[in-house]
Amino acid sequence: MKKNVDAMELIQLGLALSDAQGNLPDFGTEYCYVLEFNFREFDIDEDLHNPKSIDLLKRQGIDFSKNKRMGIRSFYFARLFTNSGLSLAPTWVDKNRTWITFHSTYDFGFLIKRLSQKELPDNLSDFMRLVRMYFGVKVFDMKQMMGFCGLHGGLERMAKSLNVERMDGKKPPGRFR
């Protein structure tokens, strides 16, 4: 994971923020809001990548040339992310934040790389120290937890096992902005 994250650029990051009861913000409208950030540093012609992954991202609507022109610079994103209070790095931030993720090792790796502006550490204990520093101790990875419950597979399979409707990563028309 370290070698891949150090060698690659972040393409996109999605975040869904909720209150303690799991309610997504609607800002008094009929819509629920999630955040999706497209980064400009990834260059499809120059950077290391898996062609199958790129094809999947294109089918999901990522426009790599538009990202290169109009995407957010990861340096500015890191500054805004930290100043927003999402990262626990500022000492004034509430340490009770909980992160619920799915198969997020790479996500945290890319975020730590950007937030620290350094390559990832060489060992797992130093990496986990950075995860705790930036995100706290309340980090739950559903992919890891599934194994303890006898569930296996990806989000689609987990959703089906739990009888939860899943949107397959696509935005339903008219429901999200």
pLDDT at 19 over 60: yes
Q: What pLDDT is stored for residue 176 in this prediction?
A: 40
Higher-confidence residue of 20 and 121: namely 121
Mean pLDDT value across residues 21-39: 85
Choose among 50, 140, 154, 156: nearest CA to 104.
140
Taking the C-alpha atoms of residue 39 and residue 12, their distance in angstroms, rounded to an integer, is: 6
Quote the tokens at residue 144: 């890891």
Pair 34, 24: CB distance under 8 Å: yes
Is residue 26 predicted with pLDDT exceeding 80? yes
Whole-number average pLDDT of the chain = 86
Q: What is the pLDDT of residue 89?
A: 67
Coarse DSSP helix, strand, coil percentages of the chain, rounded to the nearest 5 percent: 40, 10, 50
Phi, psi of 133 (to 5 degrees): -65, -45
Looking up tokens 């999605």, which residue turns up?
Answer: 14
pLDDT at 172: 46
- Say yes or no to pLDDT of 165 above 50: yes
pLDDT for the residue numbered 177? 38
The pLDDT of residue 102 is: 87
pLDDT at 90: 56
The predicted-structure confidence for 111-126, as pLDDT tens digits, reads as follows 999 999 999 999 999 9
Question: What does the alpha-carbon distance between residue 117 and residue 131 come to, in Å, rounded to a whole number?
Answer: 14
Distance CA(80)–CA(63), nearest Å, equals 23
What is the separation of C-alpha 29 from the centre of its chain, rounded to a whole number of angstroms? 25
Where does 2-161 sit in CATH, by number? 3.30.420.10
What pLDDT digit, counting tens, does each position of 39-86 carry? 999 999 998 888 998 998 999 899 999 999 999 999 999 999 988 888
